Every structure is written in C-alpha cells, then in structure tokens.
Amino acid sequence: MSDSPIAVEQHEHRPELRHHFATVEQQRDSATLGMWLFLGTEIMFFGGMFCAYLIYRIWYYNEFAAGSRSLDIYLGTTNTIVLICSSLTVALSVRAAQLGKRGLVIILLILTLIFGLAFLGIKGVEWYDKYKEHHIPGSSFDAGDLVREYPQLHIDQSHEQIYFSLYFAMTGLHALHMIIGVGIFVYLLYHTWKGLYTPAYNTPIEIGGLYWHFVDIIWIYLFPLLYLIDRKPLR
C-alpha cells in the first residue's frame, strides 16, 4: 500500500498534484488518512458528552425518561430517515464521481444538500417546540409540565434541566457539524460543476463523504439515546 517507498523518478505532472507530494496516490492516501484521524478526534469530542450522558442517565433515569418522551418521536424518526437517505446519496455520489458521471454527481450532491437542509429545518422546528414548552435550559427553564404529566416519576426539575442541557448540547453540536457539512458539500458541488473532479482525482468528494457519514452516524447514536429512552406505555 502507500506505506511503501515511492520511486524517486515517478513525479507526475498533474494539475491537482500538490508539489510536496510525489504521486497522486500519496496525496490521496494522505488526505484519506488525515480525514479518518480527524473523525477519530471528533469521536473523542462527542465522547465527553456521551460520558456525561451515561452517568446522568443512570442517576436520573426518571427525568431522562420524561424528557425523552417530551421529544417528538415522529420528527425524530423523520430526521433519522432523512439523514440515512442523505448518506445514500453521498455514497452514490462518490461512486458516480469515480465513474466520471459529472451530471449524476451534481444531482446527488444537490439531493444531499436538500436532505441536509431538511434535517436542519426539522431540527429547528423541534427546538422551537422546546422553546415554547420552556424546556430550554437557563433562567426561563420550567419543566412543571413534565412534573404534572408524570407524577409517578417524581421529577426533580434540576435533574430534568440536566437532561435538556445534554439534549441541546449534543443536538446543537451535531447540528453545527451538519451546517459545516452543508458548507463542505456546497463547496464540492461548486467544484464538481466546474469540472474539477475526474475518475483519477475525486479525493475531496471521497473525504467529504467520510465526514458526512460520520455526522450521520453520530445522529444514529443520538436518536435512540435521546428519543427512545422509555417509550413503552406507562403503567
């Protein structure tokens, strides 16, 4: 693979080849490794919050259950489907790029962007609902509605605020990564349209795709952890 030494004289002249690399393969392998390492750091980044979530869910299960139930499961499920579809279009776009089908790549990237923006839109609706219900942590936080709705859970409002703090921190950070992803894909769309990517060189689409898949996977974890804590019918 690309860990092996590269022959000295094989310096190709390709417009996309940056001068400090010897070959396009070296450049591509470096970019891919770089993206995988970056995604590793992202796992650690989200990991801190998953750790806090784990501990507080064990300690304050009732409040987490009530908070989870207060989320709109239909919107959450829709968003999950939206993101999975977007990962499909991303994967297909990488394949299309490898096959040199520029038109198809453009269509798929546009679809991805539509899915991504749909996700963000639905997320915005959900957050607005939380705002109306006074579930946004801070000085105006009030989970009295949950206290009344689930008297058998004996909800402590400060514990409930922790659930929602983690909810907003986790979905907020995820949404921020989605926004960055949308930006990346606008960039990719533009460069595809300009004809920059070929079967021989489509690394940006490949590593952009990796990033998008990662953001999707984070959501696949967030969805059950936040929305599906305790959905069975209450006694």
Partner 1 sequence: MATAAVTAERENYLNKEYGIRSWLLTTDHKRIALLYLASITFFFFIGGFFALLIRLELLTPAGDLVQADTYNKLFSMHGQVMIFFFLIPSIPAVLGNFLVPLMIGAKDLAFPRINLLSWYLYITAGLVYLHCIVMGGVDTGWTFYTPFSTAFSNTKVIEAGIAIFIAGFSSILTGLNFVVTIHRMRAPGMTWSRLPLFIWAHYATSIIQLLGTPVLAITLLLVVFERAFHLGIFDPTRGGDPLLFQHLFWFYSHPAVYIMILPSMGVVTEIIPCFARKRVFGYSAVALSSIAIAVFGFLVWAHHMFVAGISLYSAMIFSILSYMVAIPSAIKVFNWTATLYKGSISFSTPMLYAFGFIGLFTMGGLTGLFLAALGIDVHVTDTYFVVAHFHYIMVGGAVMGYLGGMHFWWPKISGRMYPEGWGRLAALIVFLGFNLTFFPQFVLGYLGMPRRYWQYPPEFQVLNVLSTAGSTILAVGYVLPMVYFLWSMRYGKIAPDNPWNAAGLEWKTTSPPPTFNFEEEPVVTWEAYNYDQLPEPQEVSLER
Partner 2 sequence: MFDNFPLWPVAASTGARNVDALYIFLVLIAAFMSVAIFTMILIFALRYRRRKGVHAEQIEGSMALEITWSVVPLGIFMVIFAWGAIVYFQERTPPRGANEVYVVAKQWMWKLEHEEGQREINELHVPVGRDVKLIMTSQDVIHSFYVPAFRIKQDVLPGRYTTAWFRATKPGTYHLFCAEYCGSQHSGMIGQVVVLEPAQYQAWLSGGLASGSMAQNGEAIFSQLGCPTCHRFDTQGRGPNLKGIFGKPVQLEDGRSVVADENYIRESILSPSAKVVSGFKPIMPVFQGLVSEEQLTALVAYIKSLSSGPSGAASTPTEPSAKP
Site for partner 2 in 169-228 (CB under 8 A): none
Single-letter amino acid code for the residue at 165 = S
CB-wise, 19 or 235, nearer to partner 1?
A: 19
Sketch the per residue contact string, 16 through 45, with partner 2: x for CB under 8 A, - otherwise: ------------------------------
Residue 62 CB, nearest distance to partner 2 (Å)?
A: 8
CB of 45 to partner 1, least distance (A): 4
Whose Cβ is closer to partner 1: residue 26's or residue 78's?
Answer: 26
Whether 229 and 65 have beta carbons less than 8 Å apart is answered as yes
| Interaction pattern, residues 46-65, with partner 2; x per rule: CB under 8 A | ---------x----------
Q: Shortest gap between Cβ of 26 and partner 1 (angstroms)?
A: 6
Applying CB under 8 A, which of residues 29, 142, 156, 206 lies at the interface with partner 2?
A: 156
CA atoms within 13 A on the CB side of 113: 15
Q: Which is nearer to partner 2, 67 or 181 (CB)?
A: 67
**Minimum CB distance to partner 2 smaller for 60 or for 219:** 60
Which of 21, 115 has the CB closer to partner 1? 21
Hey, what long-range contacts does 191-196 have (CB within 8 A, 24 or more apart)? Answer: 192/97, 192/102, 192/105, 192/106, 192/109, 193/106, 195/102, 196/16
**What residue ranges bind partner 1 (CB under 8 A)?**
2-3, 5-8, 18-22, 26, 29-30, 33-34, 37-38, 40-42, 44-49, 51-52, 55-56, 60, 137-139, 156, 158-159, 161-162, 165-166, 169
The reply to whether 154 sits near partner 2 by the rule CB under 8 A is yes
Per CB under 8 A, residues contacting partner 2 are 55, 154, 156
